[in-house]
Amino acid sequence: MTDLATPLVDAVRAALAAVPPEEGAGVVVTVGGQEVTARAATTPRPVGADVVGLLVVAAVDGLIAQGLLSPGTTVGECVPASSLPAGVEATDTVQDLVDRLGAGPPERRAAVVEVLGRVLNASSGLTVVEAVRREVTDPLAMRDTGPASQVELFAADVAADPGVERWETTPADLVRITGTSQWGALVQTGAVSRHGPAGRTGAAGVWTYDGAPVAVACVGGGGAVLAALDQLFAPTG
């Protein structure tokens, strides 16, 4: 781990100073919740199931806090068993699904996000878009995060069109969620540490580092920035 006797902000800025800009990529890095560096990318970019899953889980957590849902609620209480995708059982709980978000192939994680969205819809009476907006994006002022081109892709029949590859965000929006209780809970369970596909062109992702109050959000790339931060925070000895 970097010697924290060196001010952390200076260490992060120095590590990133030598990283050349990536064309089309946008990056925001925060230390202790304060933005320390940004590389402009104000046009929203698509996000995949991992990041949509994080937004859905944050909305689910909001319902749990209101007593409208429980971590022990089973999928079968909310979704007909006959309509579940492969790998998800009616006896699985909400907490089981959250725990699976950080593991497995992308198609399996997308199925988990789809089912969590359906649980969210059944528990709240809202579409997934409405629930995420009410519980997450509006309170955090994530004004550029939502369905691509603001089309309401998540309708009541989420199973027919989960739309998990058709949401969009900006790095400035995305990094806000790392300061929430939901993010901290997910990190503690091991469900996230890096959340999203590192450096995938056109994608978005958000990351934090164990033992350091540093968060980075990227869209449209960002692999070089992540490599520099990985080196900075790599364990030594």
Per-residue pLDDT of 127-156, as tens digits, reads 888 999 999 999 999 988 888 754 444 333
Q: Which residue has the tokens 């590192």?
A: 198
Per-residue pLDDT of 86-132, as tens digits, reads 889 999 999 898 888 766 666 677 788 889 989 999 999 998 889 99
- Asked if pLDDT for residue 205 goes beyond 60, the answer is yes
Distance between CA atoms of residues 216 and 175, nearest Å: 6
Say how far residue 54 (Cα) sits from the centre of its chain.
4
Per-residue pLDDT of 39-91, as tens digits, reads 766 677 777 667 777 788 888 888 998 999 999 999 999 999 999 988 899 99
Per-residue pLDDT of 157-174, as tens digits, reads 333 334 444 788 888 888
Beta strands in the chain (DSSP E): 26-31, 34-39, 45-47, 146-147, 167-169, 194-195, 204-209, 212-219
Segments making up each domain of the chain, as ranges = 1-43+170-178+187-237, 46-167
pLDDT grade for 235, boundaries at 50, 70 and 90: low
Q: Which of 196, 129, 146 is nearest to 44 (CA)?
A: 146
Lowest-confidence segment of 151-155, 183-187, 207-211 by average pLDDT: 151-155
Per CATH, is 1-43+170-178+187-237 categorized as 3.30.450?
A: yes
- Asked if pLDDT for residue 6 goes beyond 70, the answer is no
Q: Report the percentage of the chain scoring pLDDT > 70.
A: 73
pTM of the model: 0.76
Distance between CA atoms of residues 170 and 204, nearest Å: 8
As given in the structure block, the two tokens for residue 180 are 């929430």
- Asked if pLDDT for residue 229 goes beyond 90, the answer is no
Partners of 214 in the beta sheet? Answer: 31
* Count, residues in the chain: 237
Distance between CA atoms of residues 49 and 79, nearest Å: 20
Distance between CA atoms of residues 97 and 76, nearest Å: 13
